[in-house]
A and B are shown apart, each in its own frame.
Chain A
Amino acid sequence: MALALQTFATVRDANAALKAQGTRYLGGGTLVVRAANEGDVAVSGLVRLTDPALSAIAVAAGKIRIGASVTMAAVARHPELGALAKAARAVGGPAVRNMATVGGNLFAPAPYGDFAVALLALDATITTDDGELPIEAFLSGRDSSRAIVTSVGFTLPKADGFRFLKVSRIKPKGVSVLSIAAVIEQAADGTVSSARIALGCMADRPVRAKAAEEALKGKTLDRNGIAPALAAAAEGTTPITDPIASAWYRAEVLPVHLGRLLLS
């Protein structure tokens, strides 16, 4: 079925056009054009934006703002986003990364959304013309969210404060069994002062491992110190089952991989 594509220069006009029944926003198209190719008749029209602001990356005093149209390839090669390169490179193969946008990743259903997992650990703020939302609130309401995401913002953690791990069966590229991102802060004595841990594939969208975060506080990052966090890692999760792994398997291996990430 043919899709009608409309192109706009401003976010305002594009948001207005998206009010029409059956229209979807076109980011890199890796999910939405794929759905159309598969015969998804719910999509009859696509809306695209050419506003260059959406393709900009701004870094100032440790604060990062990434436009929603920035691709994974652009994040991966940006000299000041080295900490995030691993998460950006976790998305698909080279051609997918040249197309897949940061904005689109926020909407990608599990097993996709590896970069959104990183953004959740970083406590990013999601910006639309309606204002700003913390990523957690954004993710839980994304199914009914209609406004175009224009950018994401976050503070870059101190050196080595950000950790990311994607587990897949096919190397170097493959869909996630699960992905984990963590921002860990340690006090001078090495004990954990704060932890934010985000999980991919442990629900239909990225979720936080809040029980594990709590269990890490005041502990040292060694085998004994992290044991209670690993035991609590899967608490409150509802992992997906797909051809890559069952929900049971994902819950079983999560502590193993979280342990590797925390001890790395």
Chain B
Amino acid sequence: MAKVPVQFTLNGSEKAEFIDSGTTLLNALRDKIGDTSPKGGCQQGTCGACSVIVDGELRLSCLTLAETCNGTAITTTSGLAEGGVLHPLQRAFLDTFATQCGFCTPGMIMAAKVLLDHTPNPSRDEVVEALSGNICRCTGYEPIIQAVLTAARANSQNAA
């Protein structure tokens, strides 16, 4: 089948690739572009491990076709650290032991990032709601909720 071009910015840098039509964004990112931070868990939209941010909105990359992302700005967890310094969410996930096997972590961090981008000081319920599409089989969720609340506090202290 003929290849089709896709072009978008990924974590601030321009990407252009030729892919098979119908390739999911998850497969394009991992197999073509080499960003393996989004994880393929279920490929059914249920686990959230593949979550990425497209033009400021949380998306499931396993159910998104890469061609529909032409011209968009995509953020993945691999783009969060700056100059070797972890993003406050990444720092908080480590500090509060919110990551065990780590498979759900990039998706959790994406979901948490969109939340904090819109709601810098979320309530616990808002955090639970924001993470409700992401499954974790290790931590029991509580440390993840605490990590997001901790990162929110760190952010607001920095801003103050």
Contact = CB atoms under 8 A, between A and B. Distances in A.
Contacts of A87: none
Nearest to A44: B22
A32 to B, nearest CB: 9
Interface string B1-26: 10010000000000000001111100
Contact of A30 (B1, B20, B51, B63): B63
A5 B3 CA distance: 11
Interface residues of B, number: 30
Given A93-B133, A94-B114, A2 B21 contact: yes
B57 interface: yes
A94 B129 contact: yes
For this complex, into which size category does the number of interface residues on chain A fall?
Answer: 20 to 34
Contacts of A4: 1, 21-22
B63 to A, nearest CB: 4
Contacts of B65: 3, 5, 26, 29, 33, 46
A123 to B, nearest CB: 30
A172 B132 contact: yes
Interface stretch (A34-42, A148-156, A180-188, A256-264): A34-42
Interface in A1-58: 2-5, 7, 26, 28-30, 33-34, 36-38, 46, 48
Contacts of B133: 92-96, 173
A63 B51 CA distance: 36
Contacts of A73: 57
Contact of A34 (B22, B63, B67): B63
B77 interface: no
Q: For B24, B48, B62, B63, which residue has the most chain A Cβ atoms within 10 angstroms?
A: B63
A140 interface: no
B128 interface: yes
A7 B65 CA distance: 12
B1 A33 contact: no
B44 interface: yes
Name A's interface SS: mixed
A39 B129 CA distance: 31
A7 B114 CA distance: 29
Given A95-B58, A95-B133, A34 B21 contact: no
Interface in B118-148: 128-130, 132-134
A37 B25 CA distance: 12
A37 B27 CA distance: 11
B44 A2 contact: no
Interface in A74-122: 92-96, 98-99
B39 interface: no
A95 B1 contact: no
Given A96-B133, A173-B132, A33 B23 contact: no
A29 B4 CA distance: 19
Given A2-B22, A3-B65, A95-B133, 5 more contacts: A2-B20, A2-B23, A34-B45, A92-B133, A99-B59
Interface of A: 2-5, 7, 26, 28-30, 33-34, 36-38, 46, 48, 73, 92-96, 98-99, 172-173
Q: Please name the 6 residue pairs, one residue from A and one from B, whose CB atoms are nearest each other, closest first.
A: A93-B133, A3-B22, A173-B132, A37-B43, A95-B58, A33-B63
